Chain A
Amino acid sequence: SQTIHQWPATLVQPVGSPLSLECTVEGTSNPNLYWYRQAAGRGLQLLFYSVGIGQISSEVPQNLSASRPQDRQFILSSKKLLLSDSGFYLCAWRPPLAKPYEQYFGPGTRLTVT
């Protein structure tokens, strides 16, 4: 069966510090991968998605970046965090071809920028 992992689960970082969040998927190949952010009490904002190694599509211009160095690894980074980067970050995957394309979400990382 497939599983998705995110770490860390919780992170408190000062403004201006770097960020690296990691997401890995097990039990599948060539998944589509997604990063979402959820601000407190708000809906989901799609940040990045990837259909293959090294292929990243950005949905929102900001100080965040994403990379996919391996097939089942997706990393979200920032060189300098802003207060507005606080939120709940969710990674998700889905099979590339199997309908009806439901997504499977990780447990999330709660980021607080102080």
Chain B
Amino acid sequence: GNSVTQMEGPVTLSEEAFLTINCTYTATGYPSLFWYVQYPGEGLQLLLKATKADDKGSNKGFEATYRKETTSFHLEKGSVQVSDSAVYFCALIFTGGFKTIFGAGTRLFVKA
């Protein structure tokens, strides 16, 4: 079946460190891919998206590239801030689909 696997957290980094959160997916077709972010006590917000292979989504210094050959969509940021502390969810959906498939989430802590 279709699924999303994220690296387990928590990930703890110092401010200005480089961030990578791995995400791989299993899918029978070519889904659209997303990263959502959830700040403490809030709902999820769309962070970035990519709809086809080799697309790069980017927002707020974060970026992720849709890699069909490795079925991956890793999230990266060159220099994290304390305010980036949150839970990050990788997700996929197929064209015409009703349900988004979410990964388990990866908690990020950034220390000052």
**Contact residues of A with B, CB < 8 Å?**
32, 42-44, 46, 49, 51, 57, 59, 90, 92, 99-108, 110
Contacts and interface: CB of A to CB of B under 8 A. Distances in A.
Q: For chain B, which range describes its interface: under 10, 10 to 19, 20 to 34, or 35 or more residues? A: 20 to 34
B24 interface: no
Contact of A51 (B32, B46, B98): B98
Contact of A101 (B36, B43, B100): B100
Nearest to B51: A100
Nearest to B96: A101
B39 to A, nearest CB: 11
B93 A100 contact: yes
Contacts of B89: 43-44
B110 to A, nearest CB: 18
B80 to A, nearest CB: 21
27 contacts: A32-B98, A42-B104, A42-B105, A43-B103, A43-B105, A44-B105, A49-B98, A57-B98, A90-B43, A90-B44, A99-B32, A99-B51, A100-B34, A100-B49, A100-B51, A101-B32, A101-B97, A102-B34, A102-B46, A102-B49, A103-B44, A104-B46, A105-B36, A105-B45, A107-B42, A107-B43, A108-B42
Contacts of A102: 32, 34, 46, 49
